[in-house]
Chain A
Amino acid sequence: MRHVALALLLALASPLFAQVTDQQLLQLPGKDWLTYNGSYNSQRNSELDQIKPSNIHTLVAQWAFHVNGGAPMQSVPIAVNGLLYFTQPNALYAIDGRSGRLIWDHHHPLVKVKDREGPQRGAAVYKDRVYYLTTDDYLIALNATTGSVIYEVKIAETTEGYSAPPAPFIAKGKVIVGVAPGDRGLNGWLEAYDADTGKKLWHWDAIPKPGEPGNETWAGDSWKHAGAATWMSGSYDPELNLYYLGMGNPSPDFNGDVRIGDNLYSECMVALDLDTGKMKWYFQFTPHDMMDWDGSEVPVLVDAMYEGKMRKLLVQADRNGFYYVLDRETGKFLHGVPFVKQMNWASGLTSEGRPIRIPGIEPSLTGTKVCPSSIGAANWMSPAYNPQTNLFYVVALEGCGLATKNTETFRPGGFQYRAGGDVLLRDSDWKVYVRALDLTTGKLVWEQERIGNIGLGGGLLSTKTGLIFSGELNGQFVALDAKTGKSLWHFNTGEGINAQPMTYMVNGKQYVAIATNTTVFSFALLDSEKVTAK
């Protein structure tokens, strides 16, 4: 009897309302913003329509939430029923989306100096919990209303050099996590955990072991310290049940002599079965890369007409300078063109999508000019896609590097294993743009320079009303006309932006939020009630 009473008490005491359902996670971003890129297809195109080109001149700051000790933050807030969940390395904050006031916070204590390395890109939500990863490689599940710890699971070891910067990705009750960095000769992998219990469900190695297909693409023992980090949050097609993620660079980054071969699955887009972790297909952007061009840029999933047929496409603007259109059912290469002008390492792509290399344009002992630089033509800053304009929007960097290689060898314990580097040639041609590409041809439709910026900065947000929000490294938060690229609104946040904007709605009012280096800002229309009323 006593046990019955106890069980009853526990049942009553447990949270009564599941917050985020599988069904909600399948929706396009509207009132809530439930994943790192807003929805499984990573289009970052919001259904909210309150803020539009005709009224954006009345967009004003609503609140700012300063994060104590915030380093250059790279996190995207998650919004659930007006609550924002926001991370910086080893801390998670639950904020009132209307007022910016703190509701609770969770701080993960560290023990070793090495545990402090690496950024944090955001949280994930499922049912009544919120999840994030720490720099010392814990997956932490918290009660979403109080921040109470439900479980902590160690997924990797900092003593080996691993950190865990991605926002966890959740689908069908599975939390998918990955690791960084690939610049230390550490092999990447992906793992899925049961969201409810924290139990590991599967593990997938990004570098095939001897006897496995693909291992032959690594000379000798080079597969042992091979890179291919999994440092981003990917995209998911619920119909195909495939999870898509781009793999990082091979190790050592700049000297390919010790790893002759294509180096699979470094810099590949891979499609894994969500339930089993088995790879269905891969497509390699840069076989045998020598420029640290991680293939980790966000894969955007679009269903669109291609050559007269409706197809399931995956598009990606890669760090190597090419824009790719793939068939996401099979991984078949359909089309690819450069989206930057400064490209000297390849003259084009073969019909299979393999780059046609220009001999000699690679890191050398004395230095070779390679374009793009190792920063890449694009990087992890999220792109966006608007189905109405049929344009793909990306932050592009025009610039070259003077690339050298050396004979550095692997040392265990998480030391850099780059064997070279490049001096960024920040001359007058070094420029950052927001570019709009035609989805299927990759043709440039418009571009807007981020004047005075020397780095890529933050990513993009699209709204169905025809706006592109864009956060710049020099602190400007800008709204562009999605059709023309014309600048319609801007706000100087006063410090650098390295994160992606998002949007949400509370009590009928639409907000747009972005993290700067140390502060989260949220904006709304001056007179939003009037807009809603009509």
Chain B
Amino acid sequence: MILALIASAAVLYAAFFGAGPLPALGPAFNPVTGAWTMAADAKVGSATLRLAGLDQAVNVTLEADGTTHIVAQTDHDLFLATGYVHARFRLFQMDLLRRQGEGRLSEVVGKAALDSDRFELQLGLLRTAQAEWSAASSRSRLAGIAYAQGVNDRISEAEINHQLPAMFTLLGYQPKPWTPVDSLIVKGDMTQTLNFTDTPLVMALLQKSLGSDLTSQWFTTLPPNPQSPYDPGPYPPGASPAPIAAFSQVSDSETVAAADAYQRLAALPAGLVATGGDSNNWAVAGSRSTSGGSLMAGDPHLHLTLPAIWYQLTLDSPSYHVSGVSIPGTPVVLIGHNQHISWSLTDAQDQQTFFYLEREDAAHPGQYFWKNAWQSYKTVSYDIPVLGGATDHLTVKLSVHGPVITERGQTTSVWWAGNIPSQDLDVLLGVDQASNYQQFRDALRGWYAPTHNFVYADDQGNIGLISAGYYPQFAAGQPWLPMPGTGEYDVTGTIPYDFIPQKYNPPDGIIWSANQRQVTPDYPYYIGTASNFFDPGYRANEIHRVLSQGGKLSATDMMALQTDTRDYLASEIVPILLQAVPASAEKDLLSNWDYRMEVNSPAATIWWTFWQSYLTATFDSYWHSRDVQVARSDVNDALGQDLEAWTLGDQNNAAFKYGGSSNTALDVMRLAFTSTVSTLSKQLGADPSTWTWGRVHQRVIENLAHVKGLDYGPRPDRGDANTPLAAPDFPSSHGPSWRMVVDWGKGTFQAIYPGGQSENPASAWYDDRVNTWFDGKYAAMLTASEAAKAGGALTWSLQP
């Protein structure tokens, strides 16, 4: 009896609670209600479904690849059905996204996520989303409430039918009801990913360790290298440029604070702090296109995941006729087209994060000095449930600038544009409804963060680009460093909307953005420094080079440019390198190279390895001798711009003469080239013709839940960090998350994203678009009626 009891108890324990890494075996593997339900979920068919809250019937058409077309009789029903469809295919992803922003990941994955949760609650996405919802417009409220109803309809249906996504079962929890605030949280996640930066902390540490002399020379306000701003002016008269003072000294206590905050942010999971941008968009006026209509191309570059951040759909109702991609969890099309206009976006990269050193005094505990008076910090307390552990208690201190992020050294708070309650959801609804540039531009007036370069093209042949968002301005101070929080250096407002970077119907008929600085040095407002955190500009230069070559352009040309692997930096530097180095097989390979980072190119490997060696040979001695507290690789973009500029026009720069040597750029290039050949010989063998780029450079599309077995790849892939087809890092997990090409002359809309519509790994729609994307091909963006006639289409009739 005792043995039977022990055996039964052991089996029941494992079944109810799991064992070791295994989940609770009973509910998890129950063939009817457990993870096996992913098999049924993967099989999607035509159906008639009843949805609570619908006013009238809604028709949903699913193309053979899952692209979804929703046709509703009312706007309310459109958003409700959108919520239902999103949740039907992406509920776990949506739950992860809201949990991340709300600081509730630990509740389901344990203490491994506690640092992330604490940081998010400190930063305040939840507080901001709640404030935004309380002030939401009637249009946003209609969309948000209806969308949440649709999500909750699906949650209820899934619970009743035992169809919750398998990850819920395996992790042993059920999703809570969706709320409109959750949708705003998801938007907040994206804002944080794209524009919450640590660069002032980096600059403070560089200032302290590298020294004010080199920091001010190497990390300049304006880019040292040649770039291609899309808005060359003229700029508004009368405004005076922001004062760019010399770097101030950073005190020891400020350094301690900066180091603590920097290390804390560096330890967070990837993606919570923005580190750079990699997106492209451009437009060509009808006068420059073969079709006679305007052309538009957009490919936002993001972390590539399965499921993807995007869900492709079209929305049709009395007020909306829009097609493109949405972020699951939000009720709008973020990038796409309607009947008259198309748009896409890249990150504008202006500085939207600032750190303030709060002045405190032992005689005024719990207070800080601001505008000549002692102010009390506000506090907010949170309980963070932790799976398998005790609930964590967190108290967040808030100064007038924002949340306190560290109290080591000197108490430091962070001002972040993403924390300004804004009406970005309403803005996007307005963009979805706009039918001309005036309406498009007016809609974007309320956009705050992240600042985006919104490219525009319409059915009348017009094109435009506007970098909409909040551009913090200051009466004084050095915003690229942490600033005193005593009031004199506070944000005073933003650049007037009419004066932000923008261009409409430029005379040469082309317009482009690729995260580069949008304006020339004459622009009279502060928008950030070269290292904080604009792109070095190589993609923008290459795009501009191709578009400005003359002749008419077609949609096919747009596609070719989206998959262009020509490294603009290489095209500038390699000719100089060839002058510097003696004859060799490696030099021969470079001599015959077209600067394209193709998988089968050995020259691409030599170039990339050389450039890294060149950076190392130029800067690492300074880094080691001065014990710089910032990883050199963290600031490679800024240093690379310097190195490019010096190599092109200042080969005797003092930076090459470390330790009193008489080296020039050419001497250092020779050293770096020798090191390159040595490194590659050891790594890839003696024959340089076999050093193909694909052997060292691969691409992986990572599973969102970090399940390695559900990744796509890694597989050899073309491109690098500088090419329009962006593929930074090794392996690269970042790049074009959506490619769209519009030809208004022919009325064609084509697009692709690397993923699939379903988050279910057992579904054919999990990663069915990835190979097409790898091949540089596109799929037609159909209308709902075209989709209904297409082969393999399924239909859902949603009934009230």
Q: Please say whether chains A and B are actual partners in one complex.
A: no
List B residues at the A interface (Cβ < 8 Å). none
